[in-house]
């Protein structure tokens, strides 16, 4: 397998290692950062988005949501996942419409 070149994306075990990233395609680190920002500023079920010391509050959910996105999860699956986080992990009441809005923003990243 060839070494990746600058501006390329190497997917281990795949034959497209070295294929250039398309201009409108986001890199995984950009998607993770965008998920972080959406959770912090659009979802923010505990209202800490503007608190400087709490900017990493939702980071534990970024990987889970990223995996759902890249696996092709539906809007409904993302909404359910966001609601489960809020109700089962945070023990808060969920806002399904907010979760739906966030799910749509997340899907738009991919």
Each residue's pLDDT, cut to its tens digit, for the chain (110 residues) gives 444 444 444 444 433 444 555 556 679 899 999 999 999 999 999 999 999 999 999 999 999 999 999 999 999 999 999 999 999 999 999 999 999 999 999 999 99
pLDDT at 21: 54
What pLDDT score was predicted for residue 22?
A: 58
Task: Please state the domain extents for the chain.
Answer: 28-108
Q: What is the pLDDT of residue 16?
A: 44
Contact between 65 and 83 (Cβ < 8 Å): no
Q: Helix, strand or coil for residue 20?
A: strand
- What's residue 23's pLDDT? 58
pLDDT of residue 26: 72
Strand partners, 8: 20
| pLDDT for res 43 | 97
Contact 64, 81 (CB under 8 A): yes
CA distance 95 to 63: 22
Residue 13 is predicted with a pLDDT of 40
CATH architecture of 28-108: Orthogonal Bundle (1.10)
Could you tell me which of 70, 30, 22, 32 has the C-alpha nearest to residue 8? 22
| Residue in the structure block whose two tokens are 């945070």 | 90
């Amino acid at each position: 397998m060839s070494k990746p070149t600058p501006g390329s994306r190497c997917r281990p075990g795949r034959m497209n290692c070295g294929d250039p990233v398309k201009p409108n395609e986001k890199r995984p680190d950009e998607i993770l950062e965008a998920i972080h920002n959406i959770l912090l500023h659009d979802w923010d079920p505990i209202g800490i988005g503007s608190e400087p010391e709490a900017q990493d509050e939702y980071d534990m959910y970024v990987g889970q949501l990223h995996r759902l996105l890249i696996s092709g999860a539906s809007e409904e699956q993302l909404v359910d996942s966001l609601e489960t986080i809020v109700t089962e992990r945070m023990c808060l009441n969920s806002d399904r419409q907010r979760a739906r809005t966030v799910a749509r923003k997340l899907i738009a990243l991919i």
